[in-house]
Amino acid sequence: MKTITCITPGEFEFATDKELPKCSDGEALVQVKRIGICGTDLHAFAGRQPFFSYPRVLGHELAGEIVEIGENSDGLVVGDSVAIIPVMECGRCIACRNGKTNCCTDINLIGVHSDGGMKEYISVPSNHLLKNNKLSPDQLAMTECLAIGAHAVRRAEISEGEKVLVVGAGPIGLGLMQFAKIAGGSVIAMDIAEERLQFAAEHLGVDFTLNAASEDIPKRLEAITDGDYPTVIFDATGNPKSMMDAFLYLAHGGRYVLVSLVMADISFPDPEFHKRETTLLSSRNATREDFLWVMDCLEKGLAVTAPMITHRCSFDTMIDNFNTWLNPESRVVKAMVEL
């Protein structure tokens, strides 16, 4: 079995002699068809991913086909096309007992805390497979990425017509924009890269764009919102300063959702926070319900993946291509690896 392992930061190893994973009771053996490259993979390769150890088989945005499975309660059979929910929860902690498997106290994200899907076959619990024979392998592999944004949007409880500011137009931010619009929001996309803003306007139909590098942000937000400011803000930048600045862009009574995770302290002026009666939320990973919502929207054509996949390669050539995706000049939005 072919496998790619990140041995140390900056070094991959390609092997062709790895044993096929064993399929235990309650598990399925899945032939991997697509691997979406996530920012987590790029950071791990660059040595900038927290809570990470090497060597590690990366890859958690996965689509595949079932090649072996036993009895199960989900109607899964050999030959089914599936997306994989990569968050492996304990099922016992307080978060799991309350249905918040996405923030399990003993969480295991494959490709991060344990080996992931950069290989020809992977064995996973059958209850972490979502069958869909209508969506393409690309769409199935993109489901996890989009589910991150979908989960945050569900947390925000957007009402029809609300002005929603999404800060950061990377893959997660682009997913946030799509699902904020699906939820009924009027979406303002903000970034420092003009080409990302043009992408969001052209392919995702955002209502407004705002270039933080060249425009007066408060003045533009006042104009867009008739002086009210956005009632919902999502941060998807991974930039501590940007995350802190956005506290001042929120409407009174609004909700601020931090989707990014940074290894830093985040602070804000308490009078500004209190006078707005700000609701501050974090959003982590996604649940089964989020995955199903994404897949339903993809089936109905409400969400799109094709424009986001800007780069692709075969599994055998991934190592040669990976370094180029770290270069901002490559303008990669989402890279997809085909098997």
Q: Are residues 175 and 91 in the same domain?
A: no
Q: Are residues 109 and 7 in the same domain?
A: yes
Q: Is residue 276 part of a domain?
A: yes
Domain with 213 in it: what CATH number? Answer: 3.40.50.720
- Cis (ω within 30 of 0) for the bond into 55? yes
Q: Are residues 99 and 203 in the same domain?
A: no
Q: Are residues 37 and 154 in the same domain?
A: no
| Residues sharing a CB contact under 8 Å with residue 299, sequence separation 6 or more, in sequence order | 132, 134, 135
Q: Are residues 84 and 17 in the same domain?
A: yes
Q: Is 47 a residue whose pLDDT tops 90?
A: no
Q: Are residues 187 and 117 in the same domain?
A: no
Q: Are residues 88 and 7 in the same domain?
A: yes
Q: Shortest CA distance to 146 belongs to which of 286, 15, 328, 311?
A: 286
Q: What is the pLDDT of residues 239-268, one digit of tens each?
A: 999 999 999 999 999 999 999 988 889 999
Residue matched to tokens 């968050």: 87
Q: What is the model's pLDDT at position 307?
A: 95
Helix (H, G, I), strand (E, B) or coil at 194: helix
Alpha-helical segments (H) within 20-168: 39-46, 94-97, 137-156
Confidence of residue 319 (pLDDT cuts 50, 70, 90): very high
Q: Is the dihedral of CA 318, 321, 327, 333 positive or negative?
A: negative
Q: Are residues 59 and 127 in the same domain?
A: yes
Q: Is residue 183 part of a domain?
A: yes
Q: What is the pLDDT of residues 128-186, one digit of tens each?
A: 999 999 999 999 999 999 999 999 999 999 999 999 999 999 999 999 999 999 999 99
Q: Is residue 248 part of a domain?
A: yes
Three-state SS sequence of 134-172: CCCHHHHHHHHHHHHHHHHHHHHCCCCCCEEEEECCCHH
Domains in the chain, number: 2
Q: What percent of the chain has pLDDT over 90?
A: 90
The answer to whether 279 and 255 have CB atoms below 8 angstroms apart is yes
Q: Is residue 288 part of a domain?
A: no
Q: Is residue 144 part of a domain?
A: no
- The phi, psi pair for 13, rounded to 5°, reads -125, 125
Confidence of residue 327 (pLDDT cuts 50, 70, 90): confident
The answer to whether 211 and 197 have CB atoms below 8 angstroms apart is yes
Burial 53-80 (b: 16+ CB within 10 A, else e): eeebbbbbbbbbbbebbeeeeeebeeeb
- More confidently predicted of 243 and 74: 243
Q: Is 118 a residue whose pLDDT tops 90?
A: yes
Q: Is residue 290 part of a domain?
A: no
User: Domain containing 278: what range?
Assistant: 149-282
Helix (H, G, I), strand (E, B) or coil at 4: strand
> In angstroms, rounded to a whole number, what is the distance separating the alpha carbons of residues 121 and 123?
7
Q: Are residues 218 and 255 in the same domain?
A: yes
User: How much is the average pLDDT of 23-42?
Assistant: 94
Residue 114 DSSP class:
B
Q: Are residues 108 and 198 in the same domain?
A: no
Kindly state the tokens that stand for 32.
């991997």
Q: Are residues 27 and 117 in the same domain?
A: yes
Q: Is residue 294 part of a domain?
A: no
Q: Is the dihedral of CA 74, 80, 83, 89 positive or negative?
A: positive
The strand pair at 129-131 and 3-8 is best described as unpaired
Domain with 95 in it: what CATH number? Answer: 3.90.180.10
Q: Is residue 275 part of a domain?
A: yes
User: How much is the average pLDDT of 16-43?
Assistant: 94
Q: Are residues 331 and 249 in the same domain?
A: no
Distances (CA, A) of 16 to 4, 112, 193: 9, 22, 40
Q: Shortest CA distance to 33 belongs to which of 138, 147, 145?
A: 138
| Residues sharing a CB contact under 8 Å with residue 152, sequence separation 6 or more, in sequence order | 176, 234, 257, 259, 283
Q: Is 50 a residue whose pLDDT tops 80?
A: no
Q: What is the pLDDT of residues 88-100, one digit of tens each?
A: 999 999 999 999 9
Helix (H, G, I), strand (E, B) or coil at 274: helix
Q: What is the pLDDT of residues 51-63, one digit of tens each?
A: 788 999 999 999 9
Polymer length in residues for the chain: 339
